[in-house]
Structure 1
Amino acid sequence: MENHRILKHPILPIEEREDVLFSWNGEPLLAKKGEMISSALIANGINVFGHHHKDGSAQGIFCANGQCAKCTVIADGVAVKSCMTAVTSGMEVRSLEGLPELPETPFIPKFPPLEKLEVEVLIIGGGPAGLSAAIELGKYNIDTLLIDDKQALGGKLVLQTHKFFGSEEDSNAGIRGIDIGKLLAQELQQYSSVKVWLNSTALFVFSDKKVGILKDGVYKLVTPRIILNAAGAREKFLRFPGNNLARIYGAGAFQTLVNRDLVRPTNRLFIIGGGNVGLIAGYHALQAGINVVGLAEAMPQCGGYKVHSDKLKRLGVPIYTSHTIINAEGKETVERITIAEVDSKLHPISGTEKSFACDTLLIAVGLNSLSEFTEEAKEAGIQVFAAGDAQEIAEASSAMFNGKIAGLTIAKECGKDEVEAIPSEWYAKAEVLKSHPGAIKDYQKDLPETGVFPVIHCIQEIPCNPCTTVCPTNSIHTEDGGLMSLPVYSGNCIGCYKCVLICPGLAITLVDYRKDKENPLVTMPYEVFNIPKSEGEEIELMDIEGNSLGFYTIISVIDVKKRHTQLIKVQVPKAIARKIASFRIQAKEVSEPLPEPVIPDKMPDEAMICLCERVKAGDIRKLIHSGVTNLNQIKAITRAGMGPCGAKTCENLILQLLREEGIPIEKVVPNTKRPLFIEVPLEKFPDGD
């Protein structure tokens, strides 16, 4: 089997991990101790985990978060989600071909005794919001239980190798997400009043004010006085012909593989979606040594931060705005995709098709809040709060700050009168931290042509200020002192590189005229040094938009190990010195379209809406045309939403179809959701409860 493990990474340490022997369809394979079955299989070059019982199409992972059921396998005779089940020594794993066979001997479950627990506060989710809230509750010695369904705290912070935006004071701006997660988890350890349950999934908030939780496979009932829902969000899917192929990932699944498990799942990646999630995933791919063929965004400009899209473009990744995917093709896995330009109504324009060879497609088209627990708690009459993406989709910097506010608010509700009133400016700052990108402005025009000074290539208003706080001479400040204002230089730069090293967008370079007034030195930050650059090498310099400024020789490479960043120096004519933002690292040939676009032979209505039950867009559209606007009726007729994922994927796609057909949302009868958050074997529930 081909090894697909990442052996070199510019940010993440490559540590020796114990090998575990398991088998796949009878063939012995090696996994790393504690890793999920899905990651172990992909590390061994296995991307097809089974075939659907209805149409025989290939199955693989999509979310890697337990939300869908595409990655189901048979482990030691039991159907499990491979993304949420750890490999154990000697485990026998088999692909799910059709429906699993029932054992000849009738299964008689042995119901275990039921553990019950009462707590003051239950926090569902150990990501940035949940951790920040738990720390505040711990400070006031409040009896708190924090649960998370993963093996470690941190949520999506565990997957983030980039430096964070926001405020250095309030959200650790300038520090990498993986390090922020560790810092929060370590801080929480000092508070004994906060209990932490890992590998623990909240199943339902019942009407008797109890919460069913599956902890390490054991069912427990917790009775909280207050609930904080910090469970995060789930990724949206996208409809297009071929969306049922294997090797179509959500961004979270991709980042889980490359940044948590150090598995390289692809050689040629194409990304759909230009929000921060998709843009950041593209950068993470480059850091993992993966070719990024391109990125398509349906809107006229990317919805994520401009510094993220600029960073990709100048490294050599083309971004196609006002484009959408119209087809994916392959025998079982993705082999080729076709995109096309869209008009103002987002309809594909015939004749603009472009086809690309790729082996993996990453879908990053938005998130839906996991609001179920909030709604269930309200119905049960339990006091409930929400924070992070479970409340509103925003950046992790916002989630941390809002989690802190939620923690203090709950502490006050718990009768801790010593909790001071939350200042009004906190709420104002919370609003700023979740702000969408603002206006794009021109470069600063009054920069000198003597001495040394920073050129700030961040020209879009975003909530970020670490460059202003790290400068030892206070030479960088925002235009009006606000977090959303652009940073500007005015002062006495000493060439210390601190602003260059801390900038989350890698959007600051240093121009130095001190030795040569006509050919200054330019220093650029570099974080993808698994693609090494060395002194004397010729590189193609790029401006902020990815336009070539010519080829120049690297004068020196400074390795700043503490920051996991290199400083690349070039000497250039002063005419281009301030324009240089970075340099190309990915060859143009990687992103070349195929010579002739492949016009899809499948119509849009061939796209799958319900992957679990194989219901197509055309099936749903026919019902809408016949007057059916009740999601339960659609489910009863087509089975869309009756599969293992419980409509977590298809409901949003069905609602999209209803909107396209002109059905107002108030006329849509909502889906009656199943009572449990995930599928649970009957044997897990104690007798009589």
Structure 2
Amino acid sequence: MTGLRIEQHPILPIPEREEIQIFWQGQPIRAFVGETISAALFASGIRVFGHHPKDGSPQGIFCANGQCSQCMVLADQKPVKSCMELVQPGMQVEPLNGLPELPKVSQPPKVQPIEEIEVDVLILGGGPAGLSAGSELGKLGIPTLLIDDKHRLGGKLVLQTHRFFGSSSAVYAGTRGIDIATRLENDLRQYPSVQIWLQSTALAVFSDQKVGVLRNGSQYVLVKPKVILVATGAREKFLAFKGNTLPGVYGAGAFQTLVNRDLVRPAENLFIVGGGNVGLIAGYHALQANINVVGLVEALPECGGYKVHKDKLVRMGVPIYTSHTVLSANGQDYVESVTIAQVDEKFQPIPGTEKSFACDSLLIAVGLDPVNEFFIKAKQYGIPVFAGGDAEEIAEASAAMFSGKIKGREIALQLGRKAPPVPAEWYRTGEILKSKPGETFSEHLPEASVGVVPVIHCTQEIPCNPCAALCPNGLIFVDDHDIRKVPEFLGNNYCCQLCEQCVAGCPGLAITLVDYRSNADFPLVSIPYEFTRDSIRQRDSVTVLDTQGNPLGDLEVLSVHQIKRSDRTLIVQVQAPKEYAKKIAGLRIQDQKVTEPLDEYVTELHNDTIICRCERVTVGEIRELIRKGVRDINEIKTVTRAGMGACGSKTCNSLIHRLFREEGITNSEVVDNTKRPLFMEVPIGVFAGESPSEDKST
């Protein structure tokens, strides 16, 4: 590890990249061609990108997805979102502390006619739903334009290093997200009828049924489609607590972007808020990047994500505090600690249960909201429009892939093209993939203690079946009609041959093998391991844990190996006493000391909690207006400026609605804020047709 850049990873390749130099406040720093400004700043240890002009509060990255404005900087005198803008050699980057001074111009910029194009289908978003829909349309030769605001396709798939759940036959289950992104992109690019615009953002849907698009970040184009597919994904929900805007408080997507896309370690010691799949998976990704996970809090009595995701963290030494909430992120210029507390049945903190933990980063993963404003506006203006993936319904990426496939076929039929109707089985598969976790069963260890015994530590009904396809002898059974059923080992009539494919290939790392053949009293146990090869060696002493995270014993590593079809998963073998060999589910990865609370809990000294990040509007200011009888969020905006910032109320609007509910005001009594005609910020010159070759800082 050199500095904060990741130079070794168990799953991700470390590419050779061209090094360049940029300048931060006049000082040179390293950067690589193709990375964002925010990645280069983080890699140099810079976490504070500026200070808010209202109260001088430090500003840093939050979403890393272009949805907020926390990471704004001046790059060569232009205000830009550092998470979206790529570095250029010699780029001069400065903090943005308020509005920049406009440069003087000697003559007006040259303008050009605004290009207008027509297309049968416009797809907004190049994630799993958009790519799958594009391929379905491409097979039928339907002229399609797909736009995405990133510099590569795949959406959140490019951040996912783990194997995916779902159906092996329908949605690449058992394949890593990063590899699925490549497969979907390669599939799409083989169809000449599909045109792709990267680094291009949809800005608005207009009443003349045209869509304004900022192409390549500089050219304004009007697109008139016959049909629109909104596959724009979701944005992360914000959470109100003291210190919630300190640099070091990230959305889960921002953290995964920095770690898995930019190969930068944004933290040494991470604390996670939220026990859904997003938070649980992000914790595992942090451990793979050699980042300590101090703990995770979930307000509900149980984590909402898949139990196998939770079990992975627990058996690697991460404590999970259910029925707990975050009280504050503490620090002066960045996060230095977090304070949590237990909650009662009404989710109110219980006095006397406060605990604080030393950490430098706090990851917020408390749910997602659909990015559906384009869908709503297109319907309002009478444009035939479909929504797919998270823009339609929040679910897993596997469900988004299949949703896109269905929408592609439905759009073809909407256009009157010759296409087969959508099979009823597709809709059924789509519903299964979107389903929430079902019943959880008590772990039942197999009784047999002879030969080779697979132990399946998967006890929750979730849509997943790769293990059944992995066993060459068909010894693992998952009901094809309903892949949500818990896997069964059919070992009464057959014999496991210790090929270890199920161990290496289970997406939840939830299968171990216990081999009694050489020593029935001290059998060999094969355990999946997805960390760097040099982090564990033969003869090392390791602590083995059960699915609840309970330590079972310290054992010597007999071997570390990899099978042919492992896809970067190692297998660690230990010899364990027969009394607990079947209970072994994983190895402790991190030192327990990093998870211990501080001797005394830390009280955050800030007076109030921020609701509007852009305008620094507090809970107290908004609550006071509600108690005075205000029921119109537009009035709150007028008085406080809440929702008037650069993000266009994307992060604060849902929190304001929550304050109304906390004050006993129903949604029917509240007038929502008026949406801006533009959904994303854009330099005003592009609407005049300003030439891309001209200086756009005016």
- Shorter-chain TM-score: what band? over 0.9
Alpha-carbon distance, 1:110 to partner: 3.3
2:658 is matched with which residue?
656
1:415-466 Cα deviation digits (max 9, x unpaired): 222x222222221211111111111102345542111121100101111000
The one-letter code of the counterpart of 1:646 is: G
Alignment pair present for 1:619 and 2:621: yes
The one-letter code of the counterpart of 2:505 is: I
Alignment pair present for 1:544 and 2:534: no
1:679 is matched with which residue?
681
Secondary structure, counterpart of 1:578 in structure 2: helix
CA distance in 2, matches of 1:55, 1:628: 26
The one-letter code of the counterpart of 2:180 is: I
Aligned 1:72-111 pairs, distance under 5 A: 72-105=72-105, 108-111=108-111
The one-letter code of the counterpart of 2:282 is: A
CA distance in 2, matches of 1:530, 1:661: 54
1:570 is matched with which residue?
574
Alpha-carbon distance, 1:669 to partner: 0.5
2:559 is matched with which residue?
556
Stretch moving more, 102-111 or 616-625: 102-111
1:67 is matched with which residue?
67
State the identity as a percent.
59
1:560-610 Cα deviation digits (max 9, x unpaired): 47511110001111111110000101111011100111234456xx10000
2:644 is matched with which residue?
642
2:522 pairs, out of 510, 519, 522, with 519
Aligned 1:14-29 pairs, distance under 5 A: 14-29=14-29
Alignment pair present for 1:529 and 2:532: yes
1:595 pairs, out of 592, 599, 606, with 599
The one-letter code of the counterpart of 1:222 is: V
The one-letter code of the counterpart of 1:384 is: V
CA distance in 2, matches of 1:153, 1:600: 41
Summarize the Cα distance change of 1:314–1:99 in structure 2 as closer, same or farther, 3 Å threshold.
Answer: same
CA distance in 1, matches of 2:673, 2:533: 48
Secondary structure, counterpart of 1:97 in structure 2: coil
Summarize the Cα distance change of 1:615–1:522 in structure 2 as closer, same or farther, 3 Å threshold.
Answer: same
> CA contact under 8 A between 1:289 and 1:531: conserved in structure 2?
no
Secondary structure, counterpart of 2:83 in structure 1: helix
1:282-333 Cα deviation digits (max 9, x unpaired): 0000111111111111111111001011100110111111111111111110
> CA contact under 8 A between 1:160 and 1:177: conserved in structure 2?
yes
Secondary structure, counterpart of 2:21 in structure 1: strand
Alpha-carbon distance, 1:363 to partner: 0.6
1:390 is matched with which residue?
391
CA distance in 2, matches of 1:408, 1:441: 38
Aligned 1:76-475 pairs, distance under 5 A: 76-105=76-105, 108-216=108-216, 217-417=218-418, 419-475=419-475
CA distance in 2, matches of 1:611, 1:110: 36
TM-score scaled by structure 2?
A: 0.96
Secondary structure, counterpart of 2:574 in structure 1: strand
1:487 is matched with which residue?
487
Alpha-carbon distance, 1:113 to partner: 2.3
1:256-283 Cα deviation digits (max 9, x unpaired): 1000010111111111111000000000
2:693 is matched with which residue?
none
Alignment pair present for 1:503 and 2:506: yes
CA distance in 2, matches of 1:468, 1:119: 43
1:366-398 Cα deviation digits (max 9, x unpaired): 111001010111011110001000001000000
Alpha-carbon distance, 1:481 to partner: 5.0
Secondary structure, counterpart of 1:563 in structure 2: coil
Alignment pair present for 1:38 and 2:38: yes
Alpha-carbon distance, 1:103 to partner: 2.6
1:129-158 Cα deviation digits (max 9, x unpaired): 000000000000000001100000000000
> CA contact under 8 A between 1:353 and 1:599: conserved in structure 2?
no
Alpha-carbon distance, 1:254 to partner: 0.5
CA distance in 1, matches of 2:533, 2:657: 43
Secondary structure, counterpart of 1:118 in structure 2: strand
CA distance in 1, matches of 2:374, 2:599: 50
> CA contact under 8 A between 2:241 and 2:327: conserved in structure 1?
yes
CA distance in 1, matches of 2:412, 2:648: 35
1:1-24 Cα deviation digits (max 9, x unpaired): 982100110000011100111111
Summarize the Cα distance change of 1:466–1:226 in structure 2 as closer, same or farther, 3 Å threshold.
Answer: same
Secondary structure, counterpart of 1:269 in structure 2: strand
The one-letter code of the counterpart of 1:656 is: R
Secondary structure, counterpart of 1:282 in structure 2: helix
CA distance in 2, matches of 1:383, 1:90: 46
Stretch moving more, 255-264 or 92-101: 92-101
CA distance in 2, matches of 1:41, 1:111: 34
Stretch moving more, 502-511 or 525-534: 525-534
1:27-61 Cα deviation digits (max 9, x unpaired): 11110101110011001110000100100111111
The one-letter code of the counterpart of 2:99 is: L
Alpha-carbon distance, 1:666 to partner: 1.2
The one-letter code of the counterpart of 1:595 is: D
CA distance in 2, matches of 1:446, 1:614: 57
Alpha-carbon distance, 1:478 to partner: 2.4
Summarize the Cα distance change of 1:530–1:496 in structure 2 as closer, same or farther, 3 Å threshold.
Answer: closer
The one-letter code of the counterpart of 2:647 is: C
Summarize the Cα distance change of 1:295–1:512 in structure 2 as closer, same or farther, 3 Å threshold.
Answer: same
Stretch moving more, 86-95 or 529-538: 529-538
CA distance in 2, matches of 1:156, 1:133: 16
CA distance in 1, matches of 2:562, 2:323: 39
Alpha-carbon distance, 1:559 to partner: 2.8
CA distance in 1, matches of 2:311, 2:21: 44
The one-letter code of the counterpart of 1:28 is: P
CA distance in 2, matches of 1:479, 1:687: 58
CA distance in 2, matches of 1:298, 1:71: 29
2:695 is matched with which residue?
none
> CA contact under 8 A between 2:317 and 2:588: conserved in structure 1?
yes
CA distance in 2, matches of 1:233, 1:334: 26
> CA contact under 8 A between 1:479 and 1:488: conserved in structure 2?
no
CA distance in 2, matches of 1:599, 1:488: 50
CA distance in 2, matches of 1:136, 1:414: 14
Secondary structure, counterpart of 2:429 in structure 1: helix
> CA contact under 8 A between 1:53 and 1:98: conserved in structure 2?
yes
> CA contact under 8 A between 1:238 and 1:363: conserved in structure 2?
yes
CA distance in 2, matches of 1:200, 1:161: 26
> CA contact under 8 A between 2:501 and 2:563: conserved in structure 1?
no
> CA contact under 8 A between 1:128 and 1:403: conserved in structure 2?
yes
CA distance in 2, matches of 1:590, 1:145: 49
> CA contact under 8 A between 2:276 and 2:305: conserved in structure 1?
yes
> CA contact under 8 A between 2:445 and 2:582: conserved in structure 1?
no
The one-letter code of the counterpart of 2:83 is: C
The one-letter code of the counterpart of 1:682 is: I
CA distance in 2, matches of 1:679, 1:613: 16
Aligned length: 685
> CA contact under 8 A between 2:446 and 2:455: conserved in structure 1?
no
Summarize the Cα distance change of 1:283–1:18 in structure 2 as closer, same or farther, 3 Å threshold.
Answer: same
CA distance in 1, matches of 2:259, 2:605: 34
CA distance in 1, matches of 2:66, 2:531: 31
Gaps of 5+ in 1: none
CA distance in 2, matches of 1:687, 1:549: 68
